[in-house]
């Protein structure tokens, strides 16, 4: 496998894992605090 393909696969997998984790945590916490106005997190 070429180095560029490896890099592309790694970046794709990394960003996918990152987005899924960040989104899941966000949705879960939003559900726990349902109804409470949120002001934006860091």
Partner 1 sequence: MIDFLLWIENLSFSAFLRESSSLLSFPIFLYVHTLGMSILVGSAAIICFALLGLWPKGAPVRPLERFYPLLWFGLAIEVVTGVSIFMKDASTYGRNPDFWVKLVFVFVGVALLVMMRKRVFRNPQIDSGLVPRQGKMLAWASLVCWFGAIVAGRLIAYLQPVPGDF
In whole angstroms, how close is the CB of 28 to partner 1 at the nearest point?
9
| Residues 19/14/42/40 CA torsion (nearest 10 deg) | -10
In whole angstroms, how close is the CB of 22 to partner 1 at the nearest point?
6
Q: Per the structure block, which two tokens stand in for 26?
A: 């966000």
Q: Per the structure block, which two tokens stand in for 20?
A: 């899924």
Among 8, 16, 31, 35, indicate the residue that binds partner 1 (CB under 8 A).
Answer: 16
- E-strand ranges in 1-42 read none
User: Rule CB under 8 A: which residues touch partner 1?
Assistant: 6-7, 10-11, 13-19, 21-22, 25-26, 29, 33, 36, 38-42
């Amino acid at each position: 496998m070429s180095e560029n393909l490896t890099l592309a696969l790694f970046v794709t997998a990394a960003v996918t894992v990152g987005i899924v984790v960040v989104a899941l945590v966000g949705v879960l916490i939003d559900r726990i605090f349902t109804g409470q106005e949120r002001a934006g997190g860091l």
